[in-house]
Structure 1
Amino acid sequence: MLDRPPSSSSRGLRVVLPGTACRWARRWSPLALLALLPGCSDLVVLSPAGDVAMQQRDVLLISVGLMLLIVVPVMIATGVFAWRYRAANKDATYDPDFDHSTMLELGIWSAPLLIIIFLGALTWSSTHLLDPYRPIDRLKAGRPIQAGVKPLEVQVVALDWKWLFIYPELGIATINELAAPVDRPITFRITAASVMNSFYIPALAGQIYAMPGMETKLHAVLNRPGNFEGIAAHYNGAGFSDMKFRMYGMDQSGFDQWVARAKADPRRLDAGLYQRLEKPTEKVPVIRFATVEAGLFGKIVNRCVEPGTTCMADMMQHDRRGGGDPHSMRPGAGSPPVNDNAPQDGDKPKGALLKDPDEKGTSPHLSKDRLPGSPGKTDPGASRNRDMTALDPRFLTLPVRA
Structure 2
Amino acid sequence: MKSLKPLMILLPLSLLLFLSGCETNMVVFEPQGPVARSITDLINWSLIWMLIVVVFVFALFAFIIWKYREKPENMDYEPPEEHGSTLLEVIWTGIPILIVIALTIPTVKTLYALEEVPQSLEDKEPITIHVTAADWKWIFSYPDEGIETVNYVNIPEDTPVLFKLTSASTMQSFWVPALGGQKYAMAKMETELYLAADNPGSYMGKNSNFNGRGYAEMEFEVLAQTQSDYDEWVQEVKDTAPKLTENKYEELLKPTHLGRMTFNDTHLAWVDHSDMKSKTYTNPELYRYHGYQGKTFEEDDNYKNADETDESEKDEDSHGGHSEDEHDSHGGEHHGH
3-state SS of the aligned residue for 2:159? coil
1:308 aligned residue: none
**How far apart, CA to CA, are the structure 1 residues paired with 2:133 and 2:22?**
21
Match of residue 256, structure 1, among 231, 238, 247: 231
**How far apart, CA to CA, are the structure 2 residues paired with 1:193 and 1:250?**
29
2:99 aligned residue: 115
Amino acid across the alignment from 2:36: A
Q: Would the aligned equivalents of 1:70 and 1:112 in 2 still touch at CA under 8 Å?
A: no
Aligned-residue offset at 1:116: 2.0
Aligned CA RMSD, in angstroms, stands at 3.4
1:166 partnered with 2:141: yes
The more displaced of 55-64 and 253-262 is: 253-262
Q: Output aligned runs, 1:296-335, within 5 Å.
A: 296=270, 298-302=271-275, 311-312=277-278
Q: Output aligned runs, 1:174-323, within 5 Å.
A: 174-282=149-257, 284-292=258-266, 295-296=269-270, 298-302=271-275, 311-312=277-278
**How far apart, CA to CA, are the structure 1 residues paired with 2:208 and 2:22?**
11
1:375 aligned residue: 286
**How far apart, CA to CA, are the structure 2 residues paired with 1:387 and 1:163?**
15
1:153 aligned residue: 128
Post-superposition Cα deviations, 1:83-120, rounded to whole Å, max 9, x if no partner, equal 22221374899561163345533432232222122223
1:63 aligned residue: 46
1:87 partnered with 2:61: no
**How far apart, CA to CA, are the structure 1 residues paired with 2:65 and 2:112?**
45
**How far apart, CA to CA, are the structure 2 residues paired with 1:92 and 1:222?**
67
Percent identity between the two aligned chains: 31
Post-superposition Cα deviations, 1:129-162, rounded to whole Å, max 9, x if no partner, equal 22xxx331523xxxx522xx32111110001101
Aligned-residue offset at 1:299: 3.1
**How far apart, CA to CA, are the structure 2 residues paired with 1:216 and 1:104?**
47
Q: Using a 3 Å threshold, how does the CA distance of structure 1 residues 206 and 376 change in structure 2: closer, same or farther?
A: closer
> Greater relative contact order (Cα 8 A, min sep 6): structure 1 or 2?
2
Q: Would the aligned equivalents of 1:49 and 1:204 in 2 still touch at CA under 8 Å?
A: yes
Q: Output aligned runs, 1:95-134, within 5 Å.
A: 96-97=79-80, 99=82, 100-130=84-114, 134=115
Amino acid across the alignment from 1:105: E
Amino acid across the alignment from 1:250: Q
Aligned-residue offset at 1:238: 2.2
**How far apart, CA to CA, are the structure 2 residues paired with 1:255 and 1:79?**
59
Q: Using a 3 Å threshold, how does the CA distance of structure 1 residues 129 and 31 change in structure 2: closer, same or farther?
A: closer
Count of aligned residue pairs for this structure pair: 290
3-state SS of the aligned residue for 2:286? coil
Q: Using a 3 Å threshold, how does the CA distance of structure 1 residues 158 and 293 change in structure 2: closer, same or farther?
A: closer
Q: Output aligned runs, 1:7-18, within 5 Å.
A: none
Q: Using a 3 Å threshold, how does the CA distance of structure 1 residues 95 and 58 change in structure 2: closer, same or farther?
A: farther
- Extract structure 1 runs of 4+ deviating beyond 6 A: 30-33
**How far apart, CA to CA, are the structure 1 residues paired with 2:108 and 2:147?**
39
3-state SS of the aligned residue for 2:273? helix
**How far apart, CA to CA, are the structure 1 residues paired with 2:127 and 2:254?**
29
Unaligned runs of 5+ in 2: 1-12, 317-337
Q: Using a 3 Å threshold, how does the CA distance of structure 1 residues 58 and 92 change in structure 2: closer, same or farther?
A: farther
Q: Would the aligned equivalents of 2:272 and 2:278 in 1 still touch at CA under 8 Å?
A: no
TM-score of the superposed pair, with normalisation by structure 2: 0.75
Amino acid across the alignment from 1:222: A
Q: Using a 3 Å threshold, how does the CA distance of structure 1 residues 294 and 105 change in structure 2: closer, same or farther?
A: closer
Q: Would the aligned equivalents of 1:204 and 1:221 in 2 still touch at CA under 8 Å?
A: yes
1:72 partnered with 2:49: no
**How far apart, CA to CA, are the structure 1 residues paired with 2:178 and 2:56?**
34
Amino acid across the alignment from 1:388: Q
**How far apart, CA to CA, are the structure 2 residues paired with 1:238 and 1:193?**
18
Greater share of helix residues, 1 or 2? 2
Unaligned runs of 5+ in 1: 1-29, 304-310, 314-369, 378-383
**How far apart, CA to CA, are the structure 2 residues paired with 1:187 and 1:224?**
18
Post-superposition Cα deviations, 1:40-63, rounded to whole Å, max 9, x if no partner, equal 562111111121121111112112
Larger radius of gyration: 1
Q: Using a 3 Å threshold, how does the CA distance of structure 1 residues 396 and 93 change in structure 2: closer, same or farther?
A: farther
Q: Using a 3 Å threshold, how does the CA distance of structure 1 residues 175 and 312 change in structure 2: closer, same or farther?
A: closer
